[in-house]
Amino acid sequence: MPAPAPEISVVLPVYNEEESLPILHGELMDSLVSMGRSFEIIYVNDHSSDDSLRVLLELKGECPQTVVVQFPCNFGQTPAMAAGFEVSRGKIVLTLDADLQNDPADIPRLVERLEEGWDLVVGWRKKREDGFVLRRLPSKIANGMIAKITGADIHDTGCTLKAYRRELMENLPIYAEQHRFLPALAVASGARIGELVVHHRARRFGESKYGIGRAVRVFLDLFNIKMLATFLRNPLLYFAILALPFGLMASLVFTLRVSGAWAPNAAWFVMALFAQCTAFFVLLGLLAELVIRISGLHHSKSFEPMSMHRNR
């Protein structure tokens, strides 16, 4: 008989954090045990090149609530987080970094905030302990662009410390660098999002895994998310835009043929071809609209137990 699902799952992507892990695990245990709830801690080792896996297996042997997922090669933070989501079983799922910069002592406050009626609570590192030029300034610019382009009015979308309701997390497939855009995707799905100011600590061991080059991937994913979020709200409009040139060409050929300005035998065939392309895209739009509405109805039922109210 399988063990009952825990109330809380904590997911941590890990890459070369052997020195941080014992300290972090102790802080996690102190924080989670103090809550008096059942829990599990899921470490996803993203093929670390140091002794992180050995440390994790030792922690697993000492703590039955620990789960270790090992990647065969280095995939990145987003796939690691997605794997942790898939393995998790808790009604509430939290994520945080394994480099000790997120403070596990914030977990009880995040859970308490989530249970006020939110579907996702995002940590806000209001006072960051990072370098200004390479970390804080790019982050500030990126957060401003994300808020403006996606409509997700969140101060710190890049903060890994977040708390999710399981129903929401299961409906947010992520890939590429898109873990930082989960609030934007959640907004597009109609979820209720809250924020909480959390502690941020200076890095104690090793070096940051992120460089300025990551900004290019982030900006590309930003526009991808914007297109996806807008498409989800009105798919018929996008397909109508694709159908418009073909419709105009069909009308033009018809006008030229009737007026005699262009009257080859193939004119009716060309017009019919353009008309078929127009109808094809319109029907695809109607089908996409139907799929989105059915999916939205199913998704909205997941949020029925919670009262409806907006952020701040």
Tens digits of residue pLDDT in 132-189: 555 566 667 666 676 666 666 778 877 899 999 998 888 776 655 566 677 777 776 7
Q: Does position 248 have pLDDT exceeding 70, yes or no?
A: yes
My answer on whether 159 and 290 are in the same domain is no
My answer on whether 149 and 288 are in the same domain is no
Task: Please write the tens of the pLDDT for every residue from 98-111.
Answer: 999 999 999 999 99
My answer on whether 188 and 257 are in the same domain is no
My answer on whether 101 and 227 are in the same domain is yes
Q: What angle do CA 171, 172, 178 make, to 5 degrees?
A: 175
Can you give the CATH number for the domain in which 225 is found? 3.90.550.10
Q: How far apart are CA 35 and CA 290, in angstroms?
A: 44
- Give the closest residue to 23 by CA, choosing from 59, 53, 60: 59
Dihedral angle sign, alpha carbons of residues 104, 105, 106, 109: positive
Using DSSP's 3-state secondary structure scheme, residue 268 falls into helix
- Give the closest residue to 110 by CA, choosing from 100, 99, 95: 95
My answer on whether 138 and 257 are in the same domain is no
The answer to whether the CB of 44 falls within 8 A of the CB of 12 is yes
My answer on whether 241 and 217 are in the same domain is no
End position of a domain, from candidates 208, 232, 256: 232
My answer on whether 29 and 162 are in the same domain is yes
- Give the closest residue to 122 by CA, choosing from 179, 77, 75, 68: 179
My answer on whether 134 and 257 are in the same domain is no
- Give the closest residue to 40 by CA, choosing from 55, 50, 21, 25: 25
Is residue 275 assigned to a domain? yes
Alpha helices by DSSP H, listed for the chain, are 20-35, 52-62, 77-87, 107-114, 137-150, 166-169, 182-188, 214-233, 235-259, 267-301
Is residue 3 assigned to a domain? no
Is residue 132 assigned to a domain? yes
End position of a domain, from candidates 232, 253, 271: 232
End position of a domain, from candidates 207, 232, 257: 232
Q: How far apart are CA 266 and CA 251, in angstroms?
A: 15
Q: Does position 297 have pLDDT exceeding 70, yes or no?
A: no
Q: How far apart are CA 277 and CA 97, in angstroms?
A: 49
**Total domain count, the chain:** 2
Give me the domain span that covers residue 238.
234-301
My answer on whether 128 and 100 are in the same domain is yes
Q: How far apart are CA 231 and CA 66, in angstroms?
A: 40
Is residue 307 assigned to a domain? no
My answer on whether 228 and 246 are in the same domain is no
My answer on whether 191 and 69 are in the same domain is yes
My answer on whether 223 and 240 are in the same domain is no
**pTM, full prediction:** 0.70
